[in-house]
Amino acid sequence: MRRVTSTEANRSFSKLLGRATKGEPTEITVRGKVVARLEGVPQPDPAAEVEKQKRWEEFIERLRNQPVLNIPRGTRDELYDDEP
């Protein structure tokens, strides 16, 4: 994990953000003590996001094509009735 002073972080914040998008965490120190941590969060793969969206749309379409079940609604008392 990279460690930088608050002064250095202030001067090169855009570089630190660039490293964070690649998944590299950075600790920011003041007088030698860690006061903040910039966690690296890698960006999702665009191709994986497209595939995820495609699978989601297929799932929704499959739900739309299923028959509707006409199940009568029950009351709360019927739902939680202890007697068989």
For residue 83, the model assigns a pLDDT of 66
Give the pLDDT mean for 61-71: 90
The dihedrals phi and psi of 31, each to the nearest 5 degrees, come to 55, 40
- Which residues are within 8 A (CB) of 35 and not within 5 positions of it... i.e. 6 or more apart? 6, 28, 29
**Cα–Cα distance between 37 and 3 in angstroms, integer?**
9
User: Length of the chain, please?
Assistant: 84
Domain boundaries, the chain: 2-38
**CATH 3.40.1620.10 at 2-38, yes or no:** yes
13 vs 79 pLDDT, higher one: 13
Q: How sure is the predictor about 84, in pLDDT bands with cuts at 50, 70 and 90?
A: low
Beta-bridge mates of residue 37: 27
Q: How sure is the predictor about 75, in pLDDT bands with cuts at 50, 70 and 90?
A: confident
Smallest Cα–Cα separation from 34: which of 69, 14, 6?
6
The pTM of the whole model exceeds 0.85: no
